[in-house]
Amino acid sequence: MGSRILVVGAGAVGGYFGARMAGAGHDVTFLVRERRLQQLRAEGLCLISSVGNVTIAPRMVMAGGIEGPYDIILLSVKAYSLMAAMNDFAPAVGPQTWIVPLLNGMQHLDSLADRFGPAAVMGGTCFIVSKLDAQGRIVQAGSLPRLSVGERDGRETPATCSIAETLSGPGFETVCSTHILQDMWDKWVLLAALGSICCLMRGTVGDVASQPAGQDFAQAVIHECASTAAAAGYPLRDATLKSTVSLLTKTDSTLTSSMFRDLLQGAPVEAQQIIGDLVRRARVHQIPTPLLDLTDLNLRVYEQQRHA
């Protein structure tokens, strides 16, 4: 019998990967709340994707209806929903369950390990540019999405290989990583820098890079993020740093971060997990981060205004 996968969060990320895996015949159930349940029942789970559109009738469960443990929990809620989500999916965690989180940032690893035990928590990250549209469809743009998973201590165990094999399907690439924490830091550096560029300047990478001093600004933000990663023990390889700089200084780029897209819609943002936590770690290692500090302040003011 195949592994039972519970996707927690049928949004832009979980909905995409989950629908692809379900379409490939994997045993996928989505943990959803009432509004999304009704929406997906009525419309199906629909992907509008650069690598092919698909609509599936998802198997769904609500928190009170979880029966027995699942083999893999693919966690894809926003960081600010993590605590409530952990309570909701707790009945799905048994002694053999693996939790594979795809959230941005690093803080969630500690929260999950504290709640479910370190052995249950894998490292995970993904590269995808996707969002929900007004009808709740998942709109994915750009290149082939990628999902990486691995043991946090870097061991390549039979379990990791089999999890990576299970979390696969058409429409994305799966990587079984032996350096997943480094991968997660690399992604965090990229994302925190991208988030700072877009949220501080209220524009795309190209909007900023095509202005005088725009590229210098982007490079300075990347430097702050990368210096913090290095001080924490996860220095970016030269090639990774180079490709991050190249991606975030392209004058014709329309790239934005999901945090900026949320901000444009007046939605809550993962400011604390993506920027605040990085600033906190920079302080621990006495790394100066004036631009990240500014982004942190900017997003705090945004959140305060949202709640006013």
Ligand X SMILES: NC(=O)C1=CN([C@@H]2O[C@H](COP(=O)(O)OP(=O)(O)OC[C@H]3O[C@@H](n4cnc5c(N)ncnc54)[C@H](OP(=O)(O)O)[C@@H]3O)[C@@H](O)[C@H]2O)C=CC1
Q: Which of 175, 141, 43 is nearest to 32 (CA)?
A: 43
By CB under 6 A, residue 194 contacts ligand KPL = yes
Q: 237-241: long-range contacts at Cβ-Cβ below 8 A with a sequence spacing of 24 or more? A: 240/186
Among ligand X, ligand KPL, none, partner that 75 touches (CB below 5 to 8 angstroms by kind): none
| Min dist. Cβ of residue 129 to ligand KPL (A) | 5
Cα Rg, the chain, nearest whole Å: 19
Among 190, 197, 241, 248, binds ligand KPL (CB under 6 A): 190
In angstroms, rounded to a whole number, what is the distance separating the alpha carbons of residues 54 and 307? Answer: 37
Among ligand KPL, ligand X, none, partner that 257 touches (CB below 5 to 8 angstroms by kind): ligand KPL
Residue closest to ligand KPL (Cβ): 258
Question: Which residues are near ligand X by CB under 6 A?
Answer: 8-14, 31-33, 35-36, 76-79, 81, 84-85, 88, 102-104, 126, 128-132, 258, 270
Window of 2-10, 158-166, 188-196, 279-287 that interacts with ligand KPL by CB under 6 A: 188-196
In angstroms, rounded to a whole number, what is the distance separating the alpha carbons of residues 39 and 68? Answer: 26
Q: What is the dihedral of CA 106, 111, 113, 115, to 10 degrees?
A: -170
- C-alpha torsion sign, points 112, 81, 79, 141: positive
Residue 47: φ, ψ to 5°: -105, 125
Nearer to ligand X, 35 or 307 (CB): 35
| Min dist. Cβ of residue 146 to ligand X (A) | 10
Among ligand X, ligand KPL, none, partner that 164 touches (CB below 5 to 8 angstroms by kind): none
| Min dist. Cβ of residue 278 to ligand X (A) | 14
| Min dist. Cβ of residue 257 to ligand X (A) | 8
Beta bridge partners of 146: 127, 173
Q: Which of 64, 129, 126, 52 is nearest to 92 (CA)?
A: 64
Query: CB–CB of 194/257 below 8 Å?
Result: yes
| Min dist. Cβ of residue 190 to ligand KPL (A) | 6
By CB under 6 A, residue 129 contacts ligand KPL = yes
In angstroms, rounded to a whole number, what is the distance separating the alpha carbons of residues 134 and 228? Answer: 37
Window of 53-61, 83-91, 121-129, 147-155 that interacts with ligand KPL by CB under 6 A: 121-129
Q: List residues binding ligand KPL (CB under 6 A).
A: 104, 127-129, 190-191, 194, 257-258
